[in-house]
Structure 1
Amino acid sequence: MGSMDGKTVIVTGSSRGIGAETAKLLAAEGAAVVINYRAKAPRANKVVKAIEEAGGSAVAVQADLTEAQGRQALVDAALINFGSLDALVLNASGGMESDRGEDYALKLNRDAQLGMLDAAAAKMPAGSRVVFVTSHQAHFIDTVPTLDAYEPVARSKRAGEVALRECIPALAEEGISLVVVSGDMIEGTITATLLDRVEPGAIAARREEAGKLYSVEEFAVEVAKMVSADVESGHTEIVGGGKGFVDA
């Protein structure tokens, strides 16, 4: 039996990258998983197929998290397809897109996270877990400067984390816990690629300072662990130790 047998999890932004790998790992532990995508259905369906071929259960749902109907669609899909909603992994993020408007980073990384939490928590039973995925560059932005190109996104993600943490007392009354997972730059992600394009050598420099940067697959293992880890609500999991951040 897996640690997630009989549980249903929504993983936002899970048609690729960290979200997709996290969803696969949770499914391998027995969870039924709602795969969320904004525009690329074939990519999301590929993740569902991989989970099903491995003996798991999943469904792909198109949803723009910045819209209330999109967030509700994910909750409805969990309940209709699998009968429950026991965990929420807030993985989706963005803000470096050039075609989404000046306020998009804050709209997605703060407002949509809160909206998704509100929609999900209303249907989650006591004992449920919410996991917010962030970066060291965002989590420590108030004490450690980041790349100029990433600072607006980092500040929006930090704003999202702060807003979510303010919900902890209300969540506790419902028996729901919230955990934050913070990771360094992740090898092979779109964000890392875009940053290296804007500031050539940025990833190599951070790799040298940190000693190691996690791959998508390695970081996803840490995110998936936190869905069922025996930790207190409000816990922050600093993946990789945070050299250059925690000792700043």
Structure 2
Amino acid sequence: MSETLTPLPQGALSGKTALVTGSSRGIGADTVRYFAQAGANVVINYRNKAPRAEKLAAELRELGVEALVVGADLTDLESVQAMFAEVERAFGRLDVLVLNASGGMESGMAEDYALTLNRDAQVNVLETALPVLGDGSRVVFVTSHQAHFIRTTPTMPEYEPVALSKRAGEDALRERIPELAEKGIGFVVVSGDMIEGTITATLLERANPGAIAARREDAGKLYNVAEFAAEVARAAIDPVPADNTRLVGDTESFGQE
């Protein structure tokens, strides 16, 4: 159970506000839960599952923090602008922004949907958040080893379009590091191996039966949702690595010792 993990010191984020995109379930939900455990007021963002987001918010308010629930489609700029306007009205500023929401393997989407969500939307969210991100704040971008290392290590054909789009998003965000640094905003990419229990892993397993077991055997261990979310949460308060990158799990398969 994720509730048994408390990766951040109690009170480490007291008086701070954190927003995690795609936080009504999965990695996003556990990340926002860890922030609330550490005393942060939180913004739970969802695309179309309001009841699930509201249920999580009610749970986190029991911890004595404020929890704002905001629906927004990250590929719709007006929707994103409305979300941050609501954040500013409620809290005045934002101290932690976790860019967690991603996708591209969903059926029935436009051919360029993965790039629209994983690159363009991520940049637009960051751009729109800048007025409420102050000196000392932190931006965390969540990705996978399969995407982070896609330029040097091939991945499963089923995942390649998503991996390339997420790497494009990472590159576009990294271009903003000097500007963010000037404003006193730290930026960290958190890259993890395949995470057991995520929607992406489930879809990959469906498209390529045995993929999860094969990767687990190669890596020796795969993180679960709660464990990986703990690393994402820590990236929000730990010192920013020199290369702005936090690698989680085995990397030997990707040419990294």
Normalising by structure 2, what TM-score? Answer: 0.93
Amino acid at match of 1:12: T
Amino acid at match of 2:212: I
Which residue of structure 2 lines up, in the alignment, with residue 34 of structure 1?
Answer: 43
Which residue of structure 2 lines up, in the alignment, with residue 133 of structure 1?
Answer: 142
Amino acid at match of 1:192: A
Deviation per CA, 1:139-183, whole angstroms, max 9, x where unpaired? 000111100000000000000000000001111111111100000
Distance 1:28-1:117 versus aligned 2 partners, 3 A rule: same
In 2, distance between residues paired with 1:234 and 1:29?
A: 26
Which residue of structure 2 lines up, in the alignment, with residue 94 of structure 1?
Answer: 103
Q: How does 1:1-248 map to 2 (within 5 A)?
A: 2-232=11-241, 234-247=243-256
Conservation of the 8 A alpha-carbon contact between 1:10 and 1:74: no
Unmatched tracts of structure 2, length 5 or more: 1-9
Conservation of the 8 A alpha-carbon contact between 1:9 and 1:78: no
Identity of aligned residues (%): 61
Conservation of the 8 A alpha-carbon contact between 2:186 and 2:240: no
Normalising by structure 1, what TM-score? Answer: 0.97
Q: Which segment is superposed worse, 234-243 or 136-145? A: 234-243
Distance 1:198-1:108 versus aligned 2 partners, 3 A rule: same
Amino acid at match of 1:75: F
In 2, distance between residues paired with 1:246 and 1:127?
A: 34
In 1, distance between residues paired with 2:159 and 2:199?
A: 12
What is the DSSP-based 3-state SS (H/G/I as helix, E as strand, rest coil) of the residue aligned with 1:81?
A: helix
CA drift of 1:135 comes to 0.1
Deviation per CA, 1:169-208, whole angstroms, max 9, x where unpaired? 1111111111000001111111000000000000000000
Conservation of the 8 A alpha-carbon contact between 2:198 and 2:225: yes
Q: Which segment is superposed worse, 181-190 or 55-64? A: 55-64
Conservation of the 8 A alpha-carbon contact between 2:19 and 2:43: yes
In 1, distance between residues paired with 2:18 and 2:215?
A: 33
Count of paired positions: 248
Conservation of the 8 A alpha-carbon contact between 1:168 and 1:233: no
Deviation per CA, 1:52-90, whole angstroms, max 9, x where unpaired? 123222111110001112212221222222232111000
Conservation of the 8 A alpha-carbon contact between 1:106 and 1:157: yes
Q: Which runs of 4+ in 1 moved over 4 A?
A: none
Amino acid at match of 1:155: L
Q: Which segment is superposed worse, 106-115 or 49-58? A: 49-58
CA drift of 1:233 comes to 6.6
Unmatched tracts of structure 1, length 5 or more: none
